[in-house]
């Protein structure tokens, strides 16, 4: 297993760059906890077919892909909102830590989709 990819329907508005300015800290805390738990579940589901790595990866690449229909998040907002998803990879033990010491590459991309139902955030972590 050299790559793990998960797809979520989106990022809660309270966790985006602008949403953090407008929402109460308790709302942000609940949204962060829920997004982290959902991500951990999806990661465990993705690796159940294969055995998880015996040791966390010490060098990894992270790619965040945004599928948007109305307005895309700017890259700063996307990084802010996706932080709990990336943290989930450390909680599960896939990567050692999400600091630059362990992450060699952190990239983002976006694509417009025709319908709101197709919106998603895809996070892919690969061994470097």
Q: Domain of 10: which CATH number?
A: 3.30.1330.70
Domain of residue 58 covers: 3-127
Spell out the residues 6+ positions from residue 41 whose beta carbon is closer than 8 angstroms to its own: none
Total-model pTM: 0.89
Per-residue pLDDT of 80-106, as tens digits, reads: 889 999 999 999 999 999 999 999 999
Whole-angstrom distance, CA of residue 126 vs CA of residue 65:
14
**Cα–Cα distances in angstroms (integers) from residue 39 to residues 4, 43, 62, 121, in the given order:** 12, 6, 15, 11
Kindly indicate the confidence band of residue 1, based on its pLDDT and cuts at 50, 70 and 90. Answer: low
Q: What is the mean pLDDT of the chain?
A: 90
> What one-character-per-residue DSSP string does 32-77 give?
HHHHHHHHHHHHHHHHSSSPPPSS-BSSEEEEEEEEESS-PPPHHH
If one counts the domains in the chain, the total is: 1
Kindly indicate the confidence band of residue 52, based on its pLDDT and cuts at 50, 70 and 90. Answer: low
Percentage of the chain modeled with pLDDT above 90? 62
pLDDT for 127: 92
């Amino acid at each position: 297993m050299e790559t793990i990819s998960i797809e979520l329907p989106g990022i809660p508005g309270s966790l985006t760059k602008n949403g953090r300015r407008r929402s109460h800290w308790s709302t942000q805390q609940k949204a962060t906890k829920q997004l982290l738990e959902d991500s951990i579940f999806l990661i465990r589901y993705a690796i159940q077919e294969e055995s998880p790595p015996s040791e966390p990866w010490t060098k990894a690449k992270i790619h965040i892909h945004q599928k948007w229909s109305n307005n895309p998040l700017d890259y700063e907002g996307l990084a802010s909102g996706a932080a709990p998803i990336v943290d989930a990879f450390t909680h599960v033990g896939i990567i050692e830590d999400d600091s630059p010491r362990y992450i060699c590459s952190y990239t983002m991309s976006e694509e417009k989709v025709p319908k709101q139902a197709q919106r998603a955030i895809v996070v892919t972590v690969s061994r470097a």
